[in-house]
């Protein structure tokens, strides 16, 4: 299997499966001298941990992380940072449930494509590496990125913008921060949150699941991050977001709504503020020409409904190549949207840090004087 590393200078490599012994992340590029410990990483992981509310999977994973390499006396050494999380809720009854349907294509899952790719040896238990379980190592890596970005005044926060057809009002970064994670659906708009929760629980009672939209905002990002053409920062961010298994779409700023605007309505108008260039609007979502312009980076991702449902579905038995029925009985999230917030935040942090490291290195070599434009 290829493609388990993300980033160029801040490189995250992960491994581990849903029902394997453990999940591991190795981080190349972590600078020396960073004070970090298990407790700091754990705080971020607790935001995506299952079994904490009626809106997520009842699987009782504690997601206890341990930094096993790259730290001495609570401070990074500059060596690769290694983190591990052991899977603890792997009861025989759940393994048997997966074994009993291992030859069936579960609609919305990766059984068929993994079978095509890896043959009879593909991991059938809990979707293996295709499971959302792997995202806990993204969150662990994102916690390290968060710690580094804080030194540069960069902050990233996400929330549920829409779920089960209920949409929150437009919110500023400060409004999100003031009411961050105040409820189980992770939506700072309390009125919309209550309606979302009610709707998801109605859908759950029918054995079905709901999707939604996560919005994530990065503030304090300096102008100049991103490389033109193939390594635009929005391209890197989109790559990271689309690598999350449940994500089906990504947009920046006005996104698809830009198609409904004229050029004069869509353009962000620059002006001088306190001796620096600023923009009167942020319809571009903080990125122009693939390079950050100093405004907030605003990204929204579409999160599909959880594929596992408690409703009979038509499918195919690959061992017999026959049409059959599937009645799913394994554990599931009524909506993955709330828990996805932590994962989306992590991928944005990792992408921004990777570009920050590239830009600082490149800019130091080219030695361009930016003072004339207020930078």
Per residue in 123-159, pLDDT (tens digit) is: 877 777 888 889 999 999 999 999 999 999 999 999 9
pLDDT of residue 207 exceeding 70: yes
pLDDT of residue 198 exceeding 80: yes
Residues 126, 231: Cα–Cα separation, whole Å: 34
pLDDT of residue 373 exceeding 80: no
Structural domain includes residue 372? no
Q: CA of 244: how far to CAs of 91, 97, 250, in Å?
A: 26, 25, 11
Model confidence pLDDT, tens digit, residues 76-130: 999 999 999 998 877 777 778 888 888 898 899 888 898 898 988 888 777 778 8
The band of 58, judged by pLDDT with boundaries at 50, 70 and 90, is: confident
pLDDT of residue 44 exceeding 90: yes
The per-residue pLDDT for 54 is: 84
Average pLDDT, the chain: 92
Report the SS3 class of residue 154.
coil
The per-residue pLDDT for 252 is: 98
For residues 19 and 267, the model is more confident at 267
Structural domain includes residue 375? no
The per-residue pLDDT for 156 is: 98
- The CATH number covering residue 97 comes to 3.60.150.10
Please give the backbone phi and psi of residue 301, each rounded to the nearest 5 degrees, phi first. -125, 140
Model confidence pLDDT, tens digit, residues 214-246: 999 999 999 999 999 999 999 999 999 999 999
Residues 173, 155: Cα–Cα separation, whole Å: 10
The pTM assigned to this predicted structure is 0.94
The per-residue pLDDT for 257 is: 96
In which domain, by residue range, is 208 found? 5-364
The per-residue pLDDT for 210 is: 96
Catalogue the long-range contacts made by 104-107 (C-beta closer than 8 Å, 24 or more residues apart): 104/315, 104/316, 104/317, 104/318, 104/324, 104/326, 105/315, 105/316, 105/318, 105/326, 106/307, 106/308, 106/315, 106/326, 106/328, 107/307, 107/313, 107/314, 107/315, 107/326
Structural domain includes residue 374? no
The per-residue pLDDT for 333 is: 86
The per-residue pLDDT for 93 is: 78
**Based on the structure, what is the number of domains in the chain?**
1
Structural domain includes residue 45? yes
Structural domain includes residue 371? no
The per-residue pLDDT for 61 is: 77
Tell me the DSSP string of 329-347: -S---SBSHHHHHHHHHHH
Sheet (strand 297-303) strand order: 166-167, 155-163, 212-219, 297-303, 247-252
The per-residue pLDDT for 330 is: 67
pLDDT of residue 28 exceeding 90: yes
Structural domain includes residue 369? no
What percentage of the chain has pLDDT greater than the value 90? 74
Structural domain includes residue 71? yes
The per-residue pLDDT for 101 is: 84
Structural domain includes residue 140? yes
The band of 284, judged by pLDDT with boundaries at 50, 70 and 90, is: very high
Model confidence pLDDT, tens digit, residues 290-299: 999 999 999 9
């Amino acid at each position: 299997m290829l493609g388990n590393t993300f980033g160029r200078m801040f490189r995250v490599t992960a491994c581990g499966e849903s029902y394997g012994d453990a999940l591991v992340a190795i981080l190349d590029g972590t600078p020396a001298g960073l004070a970090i410990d298990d407790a700091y990483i754990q705080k971020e992981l607790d935001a995506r941990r299952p079994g904490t509310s009626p809106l997520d999977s009842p699987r009782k994973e504690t997601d206890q992380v341990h930094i096993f390499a790259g730290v001495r006396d609570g401070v990074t050494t500059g060596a690769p940072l290694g983190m591990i999380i052991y899977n603890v809720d792997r009861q025989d009854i759940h393994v048997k449930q997966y074994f009993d349907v291992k030859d069936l294509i579960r609609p919305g899952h990766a059984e068929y494509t993994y079978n095509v790719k890896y043959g009879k040896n593909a991991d059938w238990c809990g979707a293996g590496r295709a499971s959302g379980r792997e995202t806990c190592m993204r969150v662990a890596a994102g916690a390290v990125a968060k710690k580094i970005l804080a030194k540069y005044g960069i902050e990233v926060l996400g929330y549920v913008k829409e779920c089960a057809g209920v949409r929150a009002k437009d919110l500023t970064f400060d409004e999100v921060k003031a009411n961050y994670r105040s409820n189980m659906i992770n939506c700072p708009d309390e009125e919309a949150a209550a309606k979302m929760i009610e709707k998801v629980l109605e859908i759950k009672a029918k054995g079905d699941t709901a999707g939604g939209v996560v919005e994530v905002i990065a503030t304090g990002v300096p102008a100049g991050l991103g490389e033109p053409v193939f390594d635009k920062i929005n391209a890197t961010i989109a790559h990271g977001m689309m690598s999350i298994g449940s994500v089906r779409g990504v947009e920046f700023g006005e996104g698809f709504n830009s198609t409904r605007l004229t050029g004069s309505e869509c353009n962000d108008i620059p002006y001088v503020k306190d001796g620096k260039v600023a923009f009167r609007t942020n319809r571009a979502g903080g990125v122009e020409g693939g390079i950050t312009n100093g405004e907030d980076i605003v990204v929204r991702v579409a999160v599909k409904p959880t594929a596992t449902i408690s409703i009979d579905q038509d499918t195919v038995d690959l061992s017999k190549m026959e049409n059959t029925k599937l009645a799913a009985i394994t554990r599931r999230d009524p909506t993955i949207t709330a828990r996805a917030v932590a994962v989306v935040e992590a991928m944005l942090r990792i992408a921004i840090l990777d570009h920050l490291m590239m830009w600082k290195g490149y800019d130091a070599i080219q030695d361009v004087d930016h003072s004339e434009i207020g930078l």
